[in-house]
């Protein structure tokens, strides 16, 4: 479980450090947009009160707390699942840690600001992406992908079918 804890801590710290550096130190909160490698990478300020890509966007305090509680339930469920059945699967432990660290990074934002700070925008090939996301979201998606990829029980079920 040490790998899980370390991955979660690294993901949480990288997420919070990136938000501080870009939003506060670089002044994105007041500048609203910084072209880094346009159009591939642009920093664009966003306040996400919903889940990924602004889905379930709710501006109420109740919605904020529902999302905080939901995130913490997911974190707890992943921890229980990994401890019970995958405690020796190192890649899965790292994936779980990344997912947990990312989720906790967004929880910290909701507690501190009332919303999640987003700042990454990527577009390519004449397709303009209107959405912004953050480093925590990257860790959540990467961690979830690793859980799917490295779940040995799921791959054994597939082979048995």
pLDDT digits (tens, 9 = 90+) for 64-109: 888 999 999 999 999 999 998 878 889 999 999 999 999 999 999 9
pLDDT digits (tens, 9 = 90+) for 19-66: 999 999 999 999 999 999 988 999 999 998 876 555 555 667 888 888
Degrees to nearest 5, angle at CA 124 with 120 and 127: 105
Using a cut of 0.75, tell me whether the model's pTM lies above it. yes
Catalytic residue among 15, 109, 118, 151: 118
Closest CA to 92 of 108, 78, 106: 78
Reply yes or no on whether 137 is catalytic. Answer: yes
Catalytic residue among 15, 109, 137, 151: 137
Q: Torsions phi, psi of 123, nearest 5?
A: -135, 160
């Amino acid at each position: 479980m040490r790998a899980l804890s370390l991955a979660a801590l690294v993901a949480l710290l990288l997420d919070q450090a990136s938000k501080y550096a870009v939003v506060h130190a670089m002044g994105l909160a007041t500048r609203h947009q910084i072209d880094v490698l346009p159009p591939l990478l642009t920093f664009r300020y966003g306040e996400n009160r919903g889940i990924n890509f602004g889905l379930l966007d709710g501006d109420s305090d109740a919605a904020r707390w529902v999302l905080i509680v939901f995130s913490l339930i997911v974190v707890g469920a992943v921890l229980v699942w990994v401890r019970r059945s995958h405690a020796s699967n190192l890649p899965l432990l790292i994936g779980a840690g990344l997912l947990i660290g990312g989720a906790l990074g967004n929880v910290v934002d909701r507690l501190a600001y009332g919303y999640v700070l987003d700042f990454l925008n990527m577009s390519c090939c004449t397709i303009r992406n209107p959405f912004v996301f953050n480093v925590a979201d990257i860790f959540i998606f990467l961690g979830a992908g690793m859980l799917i990829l490295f779940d040995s029980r799921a791959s054994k079920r597939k082979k048995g079918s």
